Amino acid sequence: MQTKKRYRRAYEKDLPLLSTINNKIDGIIRWCTPSIHPAVPKARGIYDNDISISYHGLGNPSLNTGIFKEAYQKAAAAYGSDHTLFSVNGSSGSNFMVLRALKHQLGGVNMLLQRNVHKSISVAIEDFQIDATYLQPHYDNKLQIFIPNTTKEILDGLRENPRTNVLLITNPTYEGLSINLSGLVQEARKANPDLIIFVDEAWGAHFPFSKKLPPSAMESGADICVQSTHKQGSGLQQTGMIHWQGNRLSSKSMMDSYKSLLTTSPSFHLLASLDGTRYLMETKGGEIIDYLLEVSDLLRNGLDVLPGVEVVNPSKLKRQYDQIEFLDESKILVNIEQTGLTGYEIAHYLEKEYRVIVEKYEANNILFLTTFQNNKFEAKETVKSFRHSLQDLKNKKKSEKPSFPEFPTEIIKSVPSYEISKNKLKAAGLEDAAGKICAEDIVPYPPGIPLIAKGEEIQKEHINYLKALKNTSGLISVVMNDYNMRTVLTVDTS
């Protein structure tokens, strides 16, 4: 017995990651990515059958030849595009590939975009010298979520920036909010028929397979979209797809970019797993999503009656914000403000005591993502665990819940981000930074939306917000050069 224990301890010490993956994941209830259906046709023999392009029988993924070409074509038919490629670096890699393709095709890219972009986009903007104009964002300070811009605001943005040749829309948002994309596409095309509409659909890989979900980017007439198949589309971690249609995006530029940025040795198992995903969703997607939504309803209704808990009602949210046309109801946003606890405390307690994992949490809310592996038993167990967690935590509660400032939304752009590195930079004390040009992206998590992007003017409101965040005892982490938030990197004008 002792020997066994000693052996296990040594195994955990010598192989920390491997032993965790092998031993600690089984049995957890997870309401978070990846969403993988148990019946998805699986790539077998991840070690024994690992293979490279030296085996000519397969073709080459980055050249779109052989078996890969066949798999990509089948995916294009299933996801409603003219062309599809598989990614092994999630939507992060796909966003980079698409923006590189656009840069090479257009020479100069003038892009209009919403503020809630993923960091892969802001990094690509800088690296490919893209002129980016952010629309003024909307932020719901009670729910602590980003609300999309209205169609009118986007069209006004296009009118005010007549050089725009690419419109980037992140749809749906992290919380599953979706705009009337087809309406926007039609209106935007009336104003500029050549405008390239690129949708970051990282959270919508399941959309093409059910009418109960928001319409997909391809169905809505966008030119290009990227999807994280691993998030909600039954793909393994890392997997994603790029879809495009029509001829506004040059297929030659896209293929060239794919060939240039895809590793020369992608895992063929990951690529093959996307073939399995496509088959499952194409043949059984409708019924799988029906069940997913039933599980989601069970969890939603069970949580909603717990004391102090308010599950965000999709219809109510739609009434509150006109621009929200559809909601992905597999996402369950739970406001816990009235419990006197923070989302952070509850989420950590659920994980530690009940092995229930949520997608994300903030001060006032918790987001559950119903996945393809969840079932009704897990929904009921989670409601029970949540109820017990509330009771336990209230009994232990010592400190007051910290208050949160409003998220500043005004943007004053001074310099494109790619110009920043040409200047002398200086770390300015937080108190002295107002009026200076920010030389770094400052991103509080949550909400994960840049508070200030590189090249924008630092305002008094930003400083007040950062100062308030310092008092949240680690509830919110801020991604910036100085993690202690004492200094901000600025352009030195002295």
Ligand X SMILES: Cc1ncc(COP(=O)(O)O)c(C=O)c1O
Residue 264 DSSP symbol: S
Tokens of 401: 């819940």
The residue among 84 and 228 lying less far from ligand X, judged by its C-beta, is 228
Q: How many residues does the chain have?
A: 494
> Minimum distance from CB of 146 to ligand X (Å)?
10
Q: Report the residue number, 29 or 226, with the smaller CB distance to ligand X.
A: 226
Our CB check for ligand X shows the closer of 170 and 323 to be 170
Residue, CB closest to ligand X: 90
Closer residue to ligand X in complex, CB, 174/361 = 174
Residues binding ligand X: number (CB under 6 A): 11
Nearer of residues 87 and 490 to ligand X, judged by Cβ = 87
Please compute, for residue 21, the number of CA atoms within 13 A of its CA located in the half-sphere on the CB side.
Answer: 3
Stretch that binds ligand X, among 76-84, 85-93, 254-262, 414-422 (CB under 6 A): 85-93
> What character string, x for contact with ligand X (CB under 6 A) and - otherwise, covers 140-179?
------------------------------x---x-----
Give every CB contact of residue 395 below 8 A, 6+ residues apart in sequence.
none
DSSP codes of every residue in 430-446: GGG-TTSBB-S-BEEET
Q: Which is nearer to ligand X, 91 or 459 (CB)?
A: 91
Yes or no: say if 358 and 137 are a contact pair by the CB < 8 Å rule: no
Question: Is the Cβ–Cβ distance between 337 and 142 less than 8 Å?
Answer: yes
Q: Contact at 8 Å (CB) between 174 and 203?
A: yes
Binding mask 215-254 for ligand X (x = CB under 6 A): -------------x-----------x--------------
Count of alpha carbons within 13 angstroms of residue 366, beta-carbon side: 29
Smaller CB separation from ligand X, 135 or 383? 135
- Residue 105 as a binder of ligand X (CB under 6 A): the answer is no
482 contacts 488 by C-beta, under 8 angstroms: yes
CB under 6 A: which stretch of 89-97, 177-185, 309-317, 319-327 binds ligand X? Answer: 89-97
User: Which range in 20-28, 62-70, 87-95, 326-334 contacts ligand X by CB under 6 A?
Assistant: 87-95
DSSP codes, 49-109? T---TTSTTS--GGGT-HHHHHHHHHHHHHHT-SEEEEESSHHHHHHHHHHHHHHHHHSS-
Question: Where on the chain is the footprint of ligand X (CB under 6 A)?
Answer: 90-92, 118, 120, 170, 174, 200, 202, 228, 240
